[in-house]
């Protein structure tokens, strides 16, 4: 079974490399119900533990890019794009959580504009949802948007000016997409100084147990920084991988090296 899943993932990853983050011309818009998520005390910000050879965090694993990671330029990031395969969760003895997303901000500031999928093991089965958030504003589920294990998802966050962000999520497998109405995606406080591609352990009165997703494959990851659209790693800006650890330093999730095109990587689960 594991070998079969690896073959399926390999095929999907090849497909993902050919996919673009914006809605494909063959995809159709879908109607969704926007439902608030009760996340009054949940923060999607990076909880940093160290900044040495790699960035360590209590709740993020993936990649970050900025024109200068130590001193990023306000207003430099105008878009982030990426694809991921919805992971299959392994059973857990407790309710456990994971979220795949792309977004702007959060690495070095207190705002995040993000869209993605949530994968939760509820004690007996895997539950999946699409969601978006303009932190510190309200987070929302997109009810009616299809999300299933091994679906290929594309997400994008684009800043169009006047405090307006355009967020789109596409299920490439099912050929549908949804663009969040801009009445939900306005911010005058967003600094727009970094871009991220992340597997997250959500936070609610503390970091929640990380669902065993085994591997989360991200692909076709690009950003637009200072007017240049390019892969995660390139000559125009800086990037760094992020590994998730417990407060005692035990690895929870590890981001792989970027592939040869600097577009793709995999986050591997290590510990709850």
Per the structure, the complete domain to which residue 68 belongs is given by 2-269
Structural domains of the chain, count: 1
Segment 241-259, tens digit of pLDDT: 999 999 888 999 999 999 9
pLDDT, position 144: 97
Note the helical H segments in 19-112: none
Segment 61-96, tens digit of pLDDT: 999 999 999 999 999 999 999 999 999 999 998 999
Whether this prediction's pTM lies above 0.95 is answered by no
Average pLDDT over residues 182-211: 94
pLDDT, position 32: 95
**Residue 203 belongs to a domain with what CATH number?**
2.60.120.700
Average pLDDT over residues 127-151: 95
The position carrying tokens 């105008």 is 78
E-state strands within the chain: 28-29, 33-36, 48-51, 55-57, 60-66, 77-85, 96-104, 112-121, 126-135, 139-143, 152-161, 164-171, 176-179, 195-200, 215-225, 228-231, 238-245, 251-255, 265-269
Segment 152-196, tens digit of pLDDT: 999 999 999 999 999 999 999 999 999 999 999 999 999 999 999
């Amino acid at each position: 079974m594991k070998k079969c899943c690896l073959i399926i993932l390999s095929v999907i990853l090849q497909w993902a490399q050919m996919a673009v983050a914006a809605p494909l011309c063959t995809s159709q818009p879908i109607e969704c119900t926007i439902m608030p998520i009760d996340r009054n005390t949940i923060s999607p910000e990076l909880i940093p533990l160290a900044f040495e050879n790699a960035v360590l965090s209590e709740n993020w694993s993936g990649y970050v890019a900025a024109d200068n990671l130590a001193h990023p330029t306000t207003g430099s990031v105008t878009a982030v794009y990426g694809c991921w395969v919805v992971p299959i969760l392994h059973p857990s003895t407790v309710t456990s959580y994971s979220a795949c997303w792309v977004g702007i901000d959060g690495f070095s500031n207190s705002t995040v504009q993000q869209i993605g999928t949530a994968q939760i093991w509820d004690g007996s089965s895997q539950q999946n949802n699409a969601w978006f958030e303009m932190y510190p504003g309200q987070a929302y589920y997109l009810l009616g948007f299809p999300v299933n294990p091994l679906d290929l998802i594309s997400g994008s966050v684009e800043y169009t000016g006047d405090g307006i962000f355009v967020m789109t999520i596409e299920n490439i497998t099912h050929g549908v997409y949804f663009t969040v109405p801009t009445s939900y995606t306005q911010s005058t406080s967003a600094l727009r100084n970094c871009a991220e591609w992340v597997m997250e352990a959500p936070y609610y009165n503390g970091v929640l147990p990380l669902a065993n997703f085994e591997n989360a494959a991200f692909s076709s990851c690009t950003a637009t920084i200072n007017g240049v659209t390019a892969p995660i790693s390139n000559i125009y800006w800086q990037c760094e991988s992020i590994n998730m650890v417990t407060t005692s330093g035990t690895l929870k999730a590890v981001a792989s090296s970027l592939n040869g095109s600097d577009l793709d990587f995999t986050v591997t689960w290590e510990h709850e």
